[in-house]
Structure 1
Amino acid sequence: MNYRNLVLFAAGGSAAMMIGAFGFQYLGEMAPCKLCIWQRYPHVAAILIGALAWLTSLRFLSALGAIAALTTAGIGAYHTGVERGWWEGPTTCTSGSVSDMSAGDLMAQIMSAPLVRCDEVPWEMFGLSMASWNMLASIAFAAIWILALKQR
């Protein structure tokens, strides 16, 4: 497979992930949490990098595409850990500990909490959440970006 096809495939994978995310959001009525939104930014970057790399065939852009894919994979891994309770997520999107809070502080936290929590799994397939699937797919996209980097 040549450089431009690999770039198209890697960036197209990120585009497919974004289409899927928007499909879940708007057709499936599953609002994204904060970490879900964070996972989208590197995909958008990979799409833009892919378009530029496809047009210019500049080799270093493939490295940037791989970095973008690995970034969203890392966020997906972190989000998976938050969902599974392996570690706490950002205090703005998970429940956290309330043992040392006063009633007023607890009420303030409840009132400022987002509608969608990062530590709940809204959908899964074969035991993996959307964050987990994003991580796995993004690792594959990073490998394709690296193949493109070596190709040219």
Structure 2
Amino acid sequence: MAMTRTTAAAIVLFAVSTATILGAWAFEILGGYAPCPLCLTERWPYYAVVALGFVLVVAAMASAHERWIRAGLAICGAIMLASAALGGYHAGVEWGWWPGPQTCAGGGGFSGGGVLPDLDNARVVACDEAAWRLFGLSFAGYNAVISLCLAIVAFCGAIRPRRTV
């Protein structure tokens, strides 16, 4: 059975988005890099694309109607474009090009009388400080690049005519 570009795009989208979110968790858990509020927000598009990407891969492998798979890829592409914009916004905050949201600056939590964690005294990671950089790009910068690449893959899978790979 030959694989179509649509199927290949769904597989790449699912695999890379899953690897990206697993990489973020690995940096957090194993590397000790605490995420800021914007970092946590940037993960939501990946959660959506991992879930939808899984459904698309299963549908493609089950030979579902390709029109539905292409529609799902287009939705994933739009989600990843929004993710790229969010990553670019966060990178701009880190570079000091514009201010970040108020949630990135201070504590302001509810202690819950000992039942919940004491968020008033918890360390809040500032969104305007890059915790790590490689080749000049921070986590947010790499998120923008990966998201843009995934959007391109998704849109190419959504609009390409059916051909074997």
- Which ranges of structure 1 fall in alignment gaps of 5 or more residues? 96-110
> Does structure 1 residue 50 correspond to structure 2 residue 24?
no
Determine which of 60, 82, 97 is the counterpart of 2:71: 60
What amino acid sits opposite 2:105 in the alignment? T
Q: 1:119-134 counterparts in 2 under 5 A? A: 119-134=128-143
> Does structure 1 residue 75 correspond to structure 2 residue 86?
yes
Q: Which has the higher helix share?
A: 1
SS in 2 for 1:116: coil
SS in 1 for 2:103: coil
Question: What residue number does 1:105 align with?
Answer: none
SS in 2 for 1:65: helix
Question: What residue number does 2:148 align with?
Answer: 139
Runs of 4+ in 1 over 3 A off after TM superposition: 111-114
Q: 1:3-152 counterparts in 2 under 5 A? A: 3-57=6-60, 58=68, 59-94=70-105, 115-151=124-160, 152=162
Note the C-alpha offset of 1:92: 1.6
What amino acid sits opposite 1:138 in the alignment? S
SS in 1 for 2:81: helix
SS in 2 for 1:121: coil
Check conservation: 2:11, 2:53, Cα contact below 8 A.
yes
Given the two structures, how large is their TM-score scaled by the length of structure 2? 0.77
Deviations for 1:2-57, whole angstroms, at most 9, x for unmatched residues?
Answer: 21121110121111110110011000011100000011000111111111122224
Q: Tell me: CA distance 1:42–1:9, structure 2 relative to 1, closer, same or farther (3 Å).
A: same
Given the two structures, how large is their TM-score scaled by the length of structure 1? 0.84
- Length, aligned pairs only: 137
Rounded to whole Å, the distance in 2 between the matches of 1:72 and 1:38 is: 9
Rounded to whole Å, the distance in 1 between the matches of 2:121 and 2:93 is: 20
- Which ranges of structure 2 fall in alignment gaps of 5 or more residues? 61-67, 107-119
Identity %: 35
What amino acid sits opposite 1:68 in the alignment? I
Note the C-alpha offset of 1:114: 5.2
Instruction: Please provide the CA RMSD for this pair.
Output: 1.7
